[in-house]
Amino acid sequence: MSEPSANRLPAGLRLPFDPLLALATVGLMAASLVTLHASTRNDVPGDPNHYVTRQGVFFALGAIAALVISRIDYSRLRELKYGLYGLMMVGLLAVAVLGGDTRGSRRAIQLPFIEIQASELGKVLLAAALAGFVVDRARRLGERDTTARIVLLAMVPATFVMASDLGSGLVYIAILFAVLFVAGVSWRHFAGLVALGAVSIAIVLAAAPALGVTVLKPQQTERLTSFLYPSDVAGDAGYQQNQSRIAIGSGQKTGRGAQASQTNLNFLPEERTDFIFAVVGERWGFAGAGIVLSLYALLIWRGLRILTVSKNLYGALIAGGIVAMLLFQIFVNVGMNVGIMPITGIPLPLLSYGGSSVIATLLAIGLLQSIYAQGRVAAAAKGRGRSF
């Protein structure tokens, strides 16, 4: 009997992908389409399915890309780490030069059918590139110099993104911390980074303004602090969170269905992007929100499981970065919808409308599927009976 290929699953293995991860992904995609259909029917006169159709196209494109990535050995990306990092930086620079102004910042390049947000794809590229750089210095992870280099590699694009999109920049930092954690970096290094982050936040929000130095725009500061006292904030940020909490609260156990007035009467802002979870809460209540959160829990659980069965450190680092990317976005978005987190403009993965976010998330899930499949190949080749 011939030996199993290094890049193909042996015939005896059941599925070349994680079915539970696929189930969670498909479930969230379906929830997105249903929610968009219910909340955007009157947004474009004469075309009630405008956003649903476009989201469906984004899902199709992303699913094809994910399928292709899942069939490739992710380990090959390690050799391309410099190219991946360069592609990320070129994309961010292109948006800065060619991007259109949206609410005073440049976040995307506007094309006829889609807005290309390089910061979204950059999240996936950062996880893959950073993992490669860490593996190259795996034997020196205990050194502060190694940690400093990895932090610098991540903070360059993160700082660049924060200049126009604070929320996405924070996701980059979450990916950095996850990669360092999975790599086993000393807790002392983490403590130093956390302390440095706390000092930076204090300087940006308190010390610098007191000295007359403006770091954040007034609307950015308002969005970051309004969740502490939303009823006292007269600007958009306070209004948005108040309306979101009213919508979720009015849904109660099973939702208001077609009588969802916050959505139908356009009281709820950004109902197809930032506050789509509030739409779920109002229309389908605690039951609908519980289903969506359960699908996210399944998604995160499978991501963590895939991390543990990776055939090598590189795969574990990528999986850790992707899980952190997804978990951070879910926590912050749902948190800002219920009023416990600041409004940062972070989309809810696979649920919020948006081509760049959808495609980037599905690419990340394709990478997880590749790590899963390659882990099964390695386990089968070694004759292990590990449960997947």
Residue found under tokens 């895939």: 306
pLDDT of 141 reads 79
Q: Please tell me the predicted confidence (pLDDT) of residue 323.
A: 98
The C-alpha atoms of residue 372 and residue 69 are separated, in whole angstroms, by 12
Higher-pLDDT residue of 114, 31? 31
pLDDT at 232: 57
Residue type, 120: E
- The two tokens of residue 360 are 């980037």
Predicted confidence at residue 296, as pLDDT, reads: 98
Closest CA to 354 of 59, 28, 123: 59
Q: Which amino acid is at 103?
A: R
pLDDT at position 329: 97
Are residues 285 and 262 in contact, defined by beta-carbon separation less than 8 angstroms?
A: no
> For residue 379, what pLDDT is reported?
82
| Biggest alpha carbon–alpha carbon distance for the chain | 75
pLDDT of residue 1: 37
Do the beta carbons of residue 321 and residue 175 sit within 8 Å? yes
| Domain locations in the chain as residue ranges | 19-42+50-185+217-381
Distances (CA, A) of 177 to 17, 157, 187, 255, 268: 27, 15, 11, 38, 34
* The pLDDT of residue 128: 96
Q: Which of 193, 215, 195, 197 is nearest to 206 (CA)?
A: 215
User: Around Cβ 242, how many Cβ atoms within 10 Å?
Assistant: 16
Q: What is the pLDDT of residues 209-237, one digit of tens each?
A: 666 666 666 666 666 666 666 655 555 66
The predicted model gives 262-270 an average pLDDT of 78
Average pLDDT over residues 47-73: 94
| Residues 137, 135: Cα–Cα separation, whole Å | 5
- State the CB neighbour count (10 A cutoff) for residue 234: 10
Spatial CA neighbour of 349 closest among 283, 293, 304: 293
Q: Would you say residue 183 has pLDDT above 80?
A: yes
Question: How far is residue 62 from each of residues 65, 176, 291, measured CA to CA in Å?
Answer: 5, 24, 23
- Distance separating alpha carbons of residues 246 and 258, to the nearest angstrom: 16
Q: pLDDT tens, 103-155?
A: 555 677 777 666 788 899 999 999 999 999 999 988 887 788 888 999 999 99
Over 50: is that where the pLDDT of 257 sits? Answer: yes
Which pLDDT belongs to residue 104? 53
Element (H, E) at 238: helix 236-251
- Quickly state the pLDDT bin for 3 (edges 50, 70, 90): very low
> Which positions ≥6 away from 86 have C-beta within 8 Å?
none
pLDDT value at residue 227: 63
Cα separation, 82 vs 327, in Å, equals 26
Query: What pLDDT shows up at residue 2?
Result: 41
388 near 148, Cβ under 8 Å? no
The dihedral over CA atoms of 129, 132, 137, 142, expressed in degrees to the nearest 10, equals 70
Confidence of residue 73 (pLDDT cuts 50, 70, 90): very high
Cα–Cα distance measured from residue 318 to residue 133, given in angstroms and rounded to the nearest whole number? 11
What would the DSSP string read from start to end of 307-324? HHT-SSHHHHHHHHHHHH
| Amino acid (1-letter code) at residue 91 | G
Concatenating the DSSP letter of every residue in 33-98 gives HHHHHHHSTTTSTT-TTHHHHHHHHHHHHHHHHHHHHHTS-GGGGGGGHHHHHHHHHHHHHHHHHH
How far is residue 387's CA from residue 300's CA, in Å, rounded to a whole number? 18
Question: 116 in helix, strand or coil?
Answer: strand
Query: What residues have CB less than 8 Å from 142, skipping those under 6 apart?
Result: 185, 186
pLDDT band at 272 (very low <50, low <70, confident <90, very high): confident
Task: Tell me what pLDDT residue 371 has.
Answer: 96
Question: pTM of the full predicted structure?
Answer: 0.89
